[in-house]
Chains A and B, each alone.
Chain A
Amino acid sequence: MARSERPDPHETGAAAAPGAAFAALLEDSAEELYDGAPCGYLSTLMDGTIAKINATLLDWLGVGREEVVGRKRFTDLLTVGGRLYHETHFAPLLRMQGEIRGIALELRRDDGGRVPVLVSSVVKHGTTGEPLLIRSSVFDARDRRGYEEELLRGRKAAEAARTQAETDRARLQDALAVLQQSLLPDVLPHVPGMETAAHYHTASPDRLGGDFYDMFPLDAKRFGFFLGDVCGKGPQAAALTSLTRHTLHAAALHDADPVAALTTLNTVLHARYAGGGDPRYCTAIVGTLETDPATGQAAVQLASGGHPPAIVTRADGTAEFLPTPGGLLVGIVPHARFAGATTVLAPGDTLLLYTDGITEARTGADRSTLFGDDALLAFTADHAGRRPHAVIQALVGLLDSFGKGLDDDTALLALGVPAPDQYTETTP
């Protein structure tokens, strides 16, 4: 009984609608399918004269059938650009291949508007193979054109942004290079009776260095010099380096005493940076040099603020640290104590200042050992008695040998009195 109660889908009202739609579809005539298709259809004679056109395409063009059939050619429906493209590409290819697919053209509407379309055409041949007519289907490409234009606009914007970014990057690198150069002297001044040499190793071109050195005349007889290391890296470190360098230079011109110069720097840095939660400080060795033409000797006076001790190499082949114990980092307390030291450089002696990039380079197979103070002293002892340029050159070779173990900036400054027989040596 249950089975017989099941409704017949073809008879009951509830299922009548899909059945009727299906039937209507079957009754749909080929002519109506052609005329009302969701794309345009067009048949032309081989000379392009329109023989048949569907209602959809007429609607897009905004014209009546009688205006085009037998009266116009396919090319008459196109924009000037479309017509040109048809003549130069579309028609020749169609003649050659017998068919052509998905060519983008623009239709000219009766009201002057344009409709971007994609046209596919095929040539119908007669029983003897002669071409009879061309059948074309025309798809509305307005959505697609809009999408393409959007893509194009997006690409142009991206290209413009990339060009701008490259310009900005080049400008930034120029600025960084200029700034980096401003932190170091172009050349060291000529000191009568002495030879000076310096080297700066930059660990990373993108991170502005934190080491600095300089040398300059104080008066007719004396020269001032300094070398140091500011905490941190990058633009803030560079700003601190600049402030430090100019403060030390000005302070030394005002009062040549190295302890006084460091004290002035300490006051300036503490006033500038101690307030915030981001302490900034530096280590530095500051000194003066006075040569005595009569003896050929140079008197050195220096002071250190938290900086590794200078090394003096002697003409007899020895090397020693010049201790400056108790000198505090510059800029962290309002009243800091700085330790002074003096020495005399005789002919063949050299004073070497360095930053801890060299002593803290990692050595050994697993790069776990620091190069260290003692190794640096031993290395310089091997080059004791040589001219400053030769000592710096040997140290640059040492830095190179560290390879990736050298991950910090390193500044080197050597001031020496050449031995009389060394004057004939050529400077490398």
Chain B
Amino acid sequence: MSPLKIIVKDAATGPLLELVGELDYSTAPELRELLPTLPLQPGRRLVLDLSGMEFCDSSGITALIAARHHAQAAGADIALAGVPAHTRRILHIVGLDQIFALHPDSDTATRS
């Protein structure tokens, strides 16, 4: 099992998180604990780059929803970039592709 690595970057639009590895029951808390530490201003955008994410289970989906709640509470926006096909399929089944802005990559997601 490959652990999760989260790289925090500062993009023009706001925080950019690159998730590399598996986002599941054991690693999802890492993302959820990171959220409150992010400097997120109203009107800014939190971007999660998932192109390096190898696996995402229901706990991972819950962490993505927690990220959305966190961004909304801060008056900010959220976008997902480079969502792998398997996760895109799950997002579609549970209807989350309607409430998350999806971008092909982090470049387009961080363009204001």
B-binding residues in A (CB < 8 A): 231-232, 274, 277-279, 281, 283, 305-308, 326-329, 332-333, 336-337
Contact = CB atoms under 8 A, between A and B. Distances in A.
Nearest to A210: B58
Nearest to B58: A231
A328 B62 contact: no
B36 interface: yes
B94 A328 contact: yes
A284 to B, nearest CB: 11
B12 interface: no
Nearest to B36: A277
Given A231-B58, A308-B93, A278 B98 contact: no
A283 B66 contact: no
Contacts of B35: 277
B65 A332 contact: yes
Interface of A, secondary structure class, is loop
B95 A279 contact: no
B69 A337 contact: no
B44 interface: no
Contact of B70 (A231, A277, A305, A307): A277
Interface size class of B (residues with CB under 8 A): 10 to 19
Contacts of A305: 95
Contacts of A328: 94-96, 98-99
B103 interface: no
Contact of A277 (B58, B59, B69, B93): B69
Interface string B76-112: 0000000000000000011110110000000000000
A326 B95 contact: yes
Nearest to B86: A370
Contacts of B95: 305-306, 326-329, 336-337
B5 interface: no
A278 B73 CA distance: 13
Interface string B15-45: 0000000000000000010011000000000
Contact of A329 (B36, B66, B94): B94
20 contacts: A231-B58, A231-B61, A232-B59, A277-B32, A277-B35, A277-B36, A279-B62, A279-B66, A281-B62, A283-B94, A306-B95, A307-B93, A308-B93, A326-B98, A328-B95, A328-B96, A329-B94, A329-B96, A332-B69, A333-B99
Contacts of A327: 95
Contacts of A326: 95, 98
A239 B70 CA distance: 24
Nearest to B33: A277
Nearest to A333: B99
A131 B94 CA distance: 97
A278 B36 CA distance: 12
Given A306-B94, A327-B95, A328-B94, A232 B70 contact: no
B95 to A, nearest CB: 3
Contacts of A332: 65, 68-69, 99
Contacts of B68: 332
A279 B73 CA distance: 13
A326 B96 CA distance: 9
